[in-house]
Structure 1
Amino acid sequence: MNKKYTETSKFLSYILRHQPESVGLSLNKEGWAVISDLILLSAKEGYEINYDFLQSIVENSDKKRFIISEDGLRIRASQGHSTQDVSIQYSEKTPPEILYHGTAIRFISSIREQGLIPKERQYVHLSEDKGTGYQVGQRYGKPIILIIKTMEMHEQGFKFYQAENGVWLTDSVPFKFIQV
């Protein structure tokens, strides 16, 4: 991955997940932005993006952070929104027996007290594989993988959703369902 690709991907994450208004972009309730608007407004911020480059970022992203609409006219972040203007209607799904959450060891005492909470995001993010959790945990310090007893949670009424990129989402995870 080259520097332009990485910088543009980070820029897209920022505006499609957190601050679309920072560049004058409008997202609808499902998080979709018009690609032609995105390209125009990105150029004003110094990001030279054309449709082919944008499509390359979407297709080659290891985490599949973005999705282009079937008609090819709109783009959105798959999940991870902090803006309250976006409320993607994910379909409820039955989770596997366990899922993983990567974090840093320094957060364990806080997690013991309040469980996993979404903080500035709309959902807690969980993954099906330890490797992804480990990568996420590394971003915040010395990583640790938490095992989440998701089927047990589901049986007690907790709801789970899965984004287009495979990330599992839930509102919160009480500590009693977490194995450190």
Structure 2
Amino acid sequence: MHVRAEYIAVSKLLSKILRHEPLLVGVQLDKHGWVSIDVLIRAIERTARSPGASKRLRTLPTVTREVIVAVVATSDKQRFTISSDCKRIRAAQGHSVEVNLGYAEMEPPAVLYHGTAWSNWKSIAVEGLTAQTRHAVHLSTDVDMAKQVGARHGPPLVLVVNAAQMRADGYTFTCSDNGVWLTQVVPPAYLSQAEQHTQGSKS
């Protein structure tokens, strides 16, 4: 699917607002991460027209309800969720602001995957996977998707997560609206490398 360039620009802005910085345009997310679509549209327009607005906002195409719906529909990773009454929107996961997404605890697949860069392996081998600035650790059911995520930051490393054993040991998992599995931490004991790397410094 070809995604229009203006949709990509709007998607990046929505991710920043709904995951990390709602005050960028002066909106407030509710405790579950939702904001009114109409309020969001007015806030973006108002901020874009204000003195000192960033180039990103000033050059943004007009954000309408139709554009937001199209952005949600064409998001390759289904980053956003529109409420059942079509009045509100939120990010499916990936928040650095404090929210309670309200996802119910679920039984995970036996094995999940996490994509990262090889440069992170040394610290992960000691500390495991932690949420860091995000709300939770993100895990995938798909190796290729994990590899794509890891490739954003350098040569990718795919880690295998023994989710079945974690669950048996009392760790909890939830699953976001777009199928990303979430947990608070993955200790090193539950991790292994999906692919052995031949470079000695990375093996």
Counterparts of 1:152 and 1:136, CA distance in 2: 24
What's the counterpart of residue 91 of structure 2?
A: 77
- The residue type equivalent to 1:74 in the other structure is R
What's the counterpart of residue 66 of structure 1?
A: 80
Counterparts of 1:162 and 1:62, CA distance in 2: 18
What's the counterpart of residue 27 of structure 2?
A: 25
Counterparts of 2:5 and 2:102, CA distance in 1: 34
Structure 2: state its 5+ residue gaps.
Answer: 49-56, 194-203
Aligned counterpart in structure 1 of residue 129 of structure 2, from 116, 121, 133: 116
Q: Post-superposition, which runs of at least 4 consecutive aligned residues in structure 1 deviate over 2 A? A: 44-47
What's the counterpart of residue 88 of structure 1?
A: 101
- The residue type equivalent to 1:27 in the other structure is L
- The residue type equivalent to 1:77 in the other structure is A
What's the counterpart of residue 146 of structure 2?
A: 133
Counterparts of 1:165 and 1:2, CA distance in 2: 21
Counterparts of 2:63 and 2:178, CA distance in 1: 23
Aligned counterpart in structure 2 of residue 12 of structure 1, from 11, 14, 37: 14
Per-residue deviation, 1:88: 1.4
Over the matched positions of the two proteins, sequence identity in percent amounts to 42
Counterparts of 1:3 and 1:34, CA distance in 2: 25
Q: Report which stretch shifted further, 33-42 or 108-117.
A: 33-42
Per-residue deviation, 1:176: 0.5
Deviations 1:9-59 (A, max 9, x none): 010000000000111011000000010111111123233111111001111
Per-residue deviation, 1:173: 0.1
Structure 1: state its 5+ residue gaps.
Answer: none
Deviations 1:130-164 (A, max 9, x none): 11101110111110110000011000000000000
State the superposition RMSD in angstroms.
0.9
Counterparts of 1:68 and 1:60, CA distance in 2: 13
Counterparts of 1:72 and 1:122, CA distance in 2: 25
TM-score (norm 1): 0.97
TM-score (norm 2): 0.86
- The residue type equivalent to 2:96 in the other structure is S
1:39-54 to structure 2, matched below 5 A, reads 39-43=41-45, 44-45=47-48, 46=57, 47=60, 48-54=62-68
